Amino acid sequence: MSQATTIRVLIADDHAIFRQGLATIINRDPDMQVIAQAENGEQAIALFGEHQPDVTLMDLRMPEVEGVAAIGVICAIAKSARIIVLTTYDSDEDIYRGLQAGAKGYLLKETEPEELLNAIRTVHRGQKYIPPDVG
């Protein structure tokens, strides 16, 4: 894909090794590029404003500003924001809170790499992505 059609991704997670692993998986795909990484919700909000990513991957539990609050702030300033929650938490309440805040997708961290890439593409196209094991 050309630079103009590359899906630009922001990763927000408080675990550096997880961010690096995600970046490796995403950057291997010729259609995608990680443009920024945040270690907390406050950084995610700032980096979203600075880079205007096509898709943001957001953990729920992070220091400073938690994921749900960051999603709410981002969606308030950018109605078209496309955010996927990527977390270990699968309770109905967590799923509801993430989607209610404005997330367009919800994945568990045990998700296979190909499903992650598929979710990014789906949300980038403006569709929701909630796999059967979550929804």
Smallest CA-to-CA distance from 80 within 104, 45, 106 is with 104
Residue positions counted in the chain: 135
Give me the pLDDT at residue 73, please: 97
The position carrying tokens 């400073």 is 64
Assign 2 a pLDDT band (cuts: 50, 70, 90).
very low
pLDDT greater at residue 62 or residue 12: 12
Measured CA to CA, the distance from residue 58 to residue 81 in angstroms comes to: 12
* DSSP tag of 105: E
The model's pLDDT over 77-108, given as tens digits with 9 standing for 90+, comes to 999 999 999 999 888 898 999 999 999 999 99
- Residue-range domain boundaries for the chain: 3-124
Measured CA to CA, the distance from residue 25 to residue 37 in angstroms comes to: 14
Give me the pLDDT at residue 4, please: 55
Average pLDDT over residues 121-128: 97
Distances (CA, A) of 47 to 42, 105, 111: 9, 20, 25
Measured CA to CA, the distance from residue 5 to residue 14 in angstroms comes to: 29
Residue 6 pLDDT exceeds 80:
yes
Distances (CA, A) of 35 to 5, 40, 87, 131, 132: 14, 16, 20, 26, 29
97: left (phi over 0), alpha (psi -120 to 50) or beta: alpha
Give me the pLDDT at residue 1, please: 44
Please provide the average confidence, as pLDDT, over all residues in the chain.
94
Residues 6 or more apart whose Cβ sits within 8 Å of residue 20: none
Residue 3 pLDDT exceeds 70:
no
3-124 placed in CATH 3.40.50.300: no
Average pLDDT over residues 30-45: 97
Assign 62 a pLDDT band (cuts: 50, 70, 90).
confident
State percent of the chain over pLDDT 70.
Answer: 96
Give me the pLDDT at residue 135, please: 66
Give me the pLDDT at residue 132, please: 85
The position carrying tokens 């995610």 is 44
